[in-house]
Structure 1
Amino acid sequence: MKRNKKGMAILLVLLLACAAYFAYTQYETAAARRAAAQLTLSGNVDVREVSLAFRESDRIDSVLVDEGDTVKAGQVVATLDSKELQLGIQKLKSQIAAQQSAVDKLLNGNRPEDIRQAQANYDAAVSAAKNAAGVYNRTKQIYEDIQGVSRQELDTAQHDAAAKAATAEAAKQAWELAQNGARHEDIAAAQANLKALQDELAQEEYVLSQYVLTAPTDGVIRSRLLEPGDMASPSAPVFKLSILNKKWVRAYVKETDLGKIHEGQAAQVYIDSQPDTPIAGQIGYIADTAEFTPKTVQTDELRTALVYEVRVYVDDPQNVLRLGMPATVTIDLEGAK
């Protein structure tokens, strides 16, 4: 009886051992299947950054945002001291107003009062010329008939008549000029000068617009590099701006796994601070050229292998991903088939 119990116990132990071995092999098989169905990569977060600098060189007047501030596209973040430029613009506007008046005067022609005055001057000059001509004729007749005047008096009368006639001709031309108005060439020259001043004003106003630094896109101020009173220039950035609309994880894949992935394939991104909350991503870039494993990849078996860079792009509306942050990428290979 005891032997039967002992045999039963041994049999029971053997059955339990077999069951445990079967369960273990099933677990290992399932784990192997899961590993084969999923590719896991390690990488780091990359963020696009923009260096914001003024196009013009001048002293910084104000800095309106600090490090860590979120800014919107078009938001003013800094300004330059523009007092000198504004004074120059005001001077240009005064010159344009004066030149515009000159152009208007040429286009409108002379006033009726000016024309009538020119005509009156012409009439007076004609009368004076006729009187001087009469005096000369009478003096000449006396000189020829009775020689009652000297030769010098005759010459004086002749010269006076000629001068009054020339004055009358000049008055006539002035009257005609007043009637005809300005020449087309003079009007064109005045209009060209006006256009040159207007173009110069437009250029100065554009330069003034560059004295205001705005954010080119939505983002977060990562670095504030200059302060009010510093001299700004195109080569001296005022801010470093991180762009929020697209981030990616830079990872590396072995050549043996390269055929398992493709552009557009879905992926999940995990970070240490949120291990249970994956961020949905998509493979957007796979390098065409292999490279040696970077030092940031901490996998022993890959240290001497050639790998290919992979970029997994993600949307991060909550802004939880930071530049250089380590991340884990998982890719469902079964779903990709």
Structure 2
Amino acid sequence: MNKVKSRVTILVLLLLAAALYAGWTHYARRDTPITLYGNVDICTVNLAFRVSGRLATLQVDEGDSVKAGQAIAALDTAPHHNALRQADANVASAAAQLALLQEGYRREEVAQVRSQMDQAQAAYEYADKFYQRQQGMWGKGAVAQNTLDDARSARQQALATLQAAKEKLGQFESGNRPQEIAAAEAALAQAQAVQAQAILDLSDTTLTAPSDGVILTRAAEAGSMLSAGSTVFTLSLTRPVWIRAYIDEPQLGQAIPGRQVLIYTDSRPDSPYHGTVGFVSPSAEFTPKSVETPALRTDLVYRLRIIVNDADDLLRQGMPVTLHFTTDSVTP
């Protein structure tokens, strides 16, 4: 009986020791800062003109530092100046045509048309009286039927001429139709749109840096004919600078966005950079071959993006770094 109790006691103690060891290792692993390995990831931008033309000048070369808004290359502007002058002329012509239609006819033109109507009125009155006389004489048998028909025809022609003169006078007095003015306004708007595009094309003959950075490559030489979108420079941006790293699932709980990270490089082993966890991939992937980790290559990991807060020119694209998660709280 005593042996059974002893065995039960020993078994209970062993189970209790195992539970304590498991709990200790769990909390120790959770609280112990982890170390990861990653690489510097710097954004690069391909710079190109939005218009085609002959490359006239290059103001920078590979390795040069540039500032945001700095002019770094230019195209030959002569064709674009010509296009702008033509667009300006088309706008002036369309504006003049619209103003002419909106202003209507001049008083001299209206007076001339009114005079023509008066002449047509007099001609009709004469033709009408002549026809009346011929009709009376035809009734007495004094004129032939052909003479009466000629008088009637002349009267109808005079009436038609008078009616046309009245309509023309009404047009001149009322001005142009709203549809004609609307068409002229649309033509002016179209000419102005072409002018605005010509101005934009002319401004696009100067290539400027979108942000601070360093010229990595120059892909064209002065004098080359370039099509729109052809890369001229590749720019490495000064900011932002990121670290690409990977973490396995058991340690994923420590990769909290905003957590502070110390970043060590081989050239600065005692002076770390400071960063924060900015992004944790929501999906797992197999460990890339370029990642240095003691875990198996086939392990599933999650990609991290560490934002470097105090980056300088010593951090280069692809540089390997070592990451130490600090025990500090998450950055607010």
- TM range, normalised to the smaller chain? 0.7 to 0.9
1:115 to 107, 110, 118: 110
Deviations 1:188-221 (A, max 9, x none): 2332333333334334444444444333332222
- Give the greater-gyration-radius structure (CA): 1
Give SS of 1:192's match: helix
User: Does the Cα contact within 8 Å between 1:37 and 1:332 map onto a contact in 2?
Assistant: no
Query: Relative to 1, partners in 2 of residues 1:131 and 1:82: Cα closer, same or farther, differing over 3 Å?
Result: same
Identity %: 35
* Structure 1 letter corresponding to 2:178: H
Q: Give the one of 123, 126, 144 matched to 2:121.
A: 126
Secondary structure (helix, strand or coil) at the match of 2:61 reads coil
Aligned to 1:164: 158
In structure 2, do the counterparts of structure 1 residues 316 and 238 end up closer, same or farther at CA, with 3 Å as the change threshold?
farther
Equivalent residues, number? 299
* 1:312 is the counterpart of 2:309: no
Q: Displacement, 1:90?
A: 2.7
C-alpha contact 2:33 2:325 (8 A) present in aligned 1: yes
Partner in structure 1 of residue 40 of structure 2: 45
* Structure 1 CA distance for aligned equivalents of residues 221 and 49 of structure 2: 13
Aligned to 1:175: 169
Would you say the 8 A contact 2:273–2:308 is kept in 1? yes
Structure 1 spans left out of the alignment, 5+ residues:
1-32
d(CA) in 1 for partners of 2:131 and 2:298? 121
**Deviation per residue, 1:287-334 (Å, 9 max, x gap):** 55253363452x6x456573554433213453221112233333334x
| Aligned-CA RMSD value | 3.5
Q: Quote the Cα distance in structure 2 between the aligned partners of 1:240 and 1:246.
A: 16
Q: Match of 2:316, SS? A: coil
How far has the Cα of 1:47 moved from its partner? 0.7
Whether 1:190 and 2:184 are equivalent positions in the alignment is yes
Q: Which residue of 2 aligns with 1:264?
A: 258
Aligned mates of 2:54, 2:317 — CA distance in 1: 31
The aligned residue for residue 3 of structure 2 is: none
The Cα shift of 1:152 comes to: 5.5
**Structure 1 pair 142/107, CA: closer, same or farther in 2 (3 Å)?**
same
Unaligned runs of 5+ in 2: 1-27
Q: Which residue of 2 aligns with 1:62?
A: 57
* Structure 2 partner of 1:201: 195
Q: Which residue of 2 aligns with 1:221?
A: 215
- Tell me by how many angstroms 1:52 deviates: 1.9
- 2:85 aligned residue (69, 87, 90): 90
| TM-score, with structure 1 as normaliser | 0.72
Write the distance in 2 (CA, Å) between the matches of 1:324 and 1:45.
5
Q: 1:115: Cα distance to partner?
A: 1.7
Do the aligned partners of 2:275 and 2:309 also contact (CA within 8 Å) in 1? yes
